Amino acid sequence: MVWYSLLIAVIAVERLAELIVSKRNWAWSRERGGTEFGAAHYPPMVVLHVGLLVGCVVEPMVLHRPFIPALGWSMLAVVVAAQVLRWWCITTLGPQWNTRVIVIPGADRITGGPYRLIPHPNYVAVVVEGVALPLVHTSWITALTFTVLNAALLRTRLRVENTALARLT
């Protein structure tokens, strides 16, 4: 359980790094006239993602979930792949990447990197991680709860983002 808690801590530090990049990119976008869309869904999104990390630690401790090697190691590999995809998205979008939905007037829509393969690859990483990270230590309640709540949130987020992206040239 100690190593799993360390994994969750590493993921939490990664999320903090993403927030730092996002804040820097928000300032860059604002300097260029960027406008945020769908700000109302952002706080619930933050709560949901924090809840995922908390659930990953609490569920196996409280419910004495075992580590099942075949499941745990394979899900760890999936978690690593999700992080690679997430950072591929971040580096591909460069300063246009953000945890919020921000449109810069006159900006081109990015169609390279993973975006040439699928329209919203970062959300693929989020969905995959939301299932795999809890299952590394058999936290299936957390995986299921996050997946259901995230699906509802992503429905709103994708609608907002697609509307915002339609404004790009």
| C-alpha distances out from residue 125 to 54, 83, 88, 122, Å | 19, 7, 10, 5
Domains and CATH numbers, the chain: 2-165 (1.20.120.1630)
Alpha-carbon distance 134 to 105, whole Å? 39
Distance between CA atoms of 29 and 154, rounded to whole angstroms? 23
pLDDT digits (tens, 9 = 90+) for 38-91: 999 999 999 999 999 999 999 999 999 999 999 999 999 999 999 999 999 999
Residues 4-37 have pLDDT tens digits of: 999 999 999 999 999 999 999 999 999 999 999 9
Whether 97 has a pLDDT exceeding 80, the answer reads yes
Mean pLDDT for 129-133 is 98
pTM, entire model: 0.91
pLDDT of residue 1: 82
Q: Which amino acid, one-letter code, is at 37? A: F
